[in-house]
Structure 1
Amino acid sequence: MFLHACPCGYYGDSTHQCTCSPPQIKKYLSKISGPLLDRIDMHIEVFPVQCSELQAEQGSKSSLELKQNVNAARMIQLQRYEKEGILFNSQLKPKLMKKYCKIGNAEKELLETAFNKLGLSARAYNRIIKLSRTIADLNGCERIQVSHIAEAIQYRNLDRKFWNP
């Protein structure tokens, strides 16, 4: 799902001037409710890219490497949940989260800090943990680490940035 933060699409964009009035922005944002955003696992702010950046040689992974990485993570999940009747980390219910998403004290502390500072809901808290499990799988890690939690938290910022300032 792709959402703009205003009717013209430039609110918050550093390269273009937003032409919307504050009431227009507020009305536009009010069409998307917090509970709806809570049901979206990842909120990523995407900025325009310069042509020179596209033409520059990248040191990133190729599409084939990314596909292989995702397929390996999918196999980990299929094997992990073969007796549970689910296929994906996103399908974990609280009981199974306790079994498969164990986190240490440092991870719990980071989650608590984010929960309190960002005003996250219980649903968002659980989605962060499940997304952290997926990030750990993509990195080939059996245990969820602080870096996985931190990455998952950063994918939950738009609902607080635009919808609940």
Structure 2
Amino acid sequence: GTVTPFMPISILLTSRKAQSSVRLQYKQFLANQDCQEVTWDQVVDFWTDGGRRPQRIFDMMQPQLKPMQDDVLETIDLVRDAISQLVPLVAGDEGAFPTLHPDCRANLNRTINLAPEEAIFLAYLASLEPQRRREIVLSDKVNATSLTRQQILTEAELVQFAIAESEELSDNE
């Protein structure tokens, strides 16, 4: 068996094997960009079906279960706050995102409250070159600690990893 390198843990999202086909579609979508950097609008368009299905991102990955530790909860809040500052930087003035209410599926608060927009932002970061991703996350227009920024970069890397690893599901899985 192969040794899995130590993977940092996502505190925001979890990706199931069953969702691999959706990740694969996105991987192909990115491959079709001909080395052009994908735009925020394109990513939003893909993950909302052109605005018709704002929750589509959750077909690829779900919000994590709520952690028990207060410090992790605090980090999640800090990360979400930083993301809310980062989105306008990439979205431009129109902020081409349909206003979304937090998902109303009764999750009985077992999972963290993550808006589709926040998940899509991580998918967007995951779709960029690492250098570009760092430029965005480390922007001095955003008021966030370096730890918070590092966590966002980690989250994006994990999403990128999940997308990169998605392959056609073979019969024996």
- Structure showing greater relative contact order (alpha-carbon pairs closer than 8 Å, 6 or more residues apart): 2
More helix by share: 1
Asked if Structure 1 and Structure 2 have the same fold, meaning a TM-score greater than 0.5 normalized by the shorter chain, the answer is no
Greater Cα radius of gyration, structure 1 or 2: 1
Q: TM-score, normalised by structure 2?
A: 0.29
Q: TM-score, normalised by structure 1?
A: 0.30
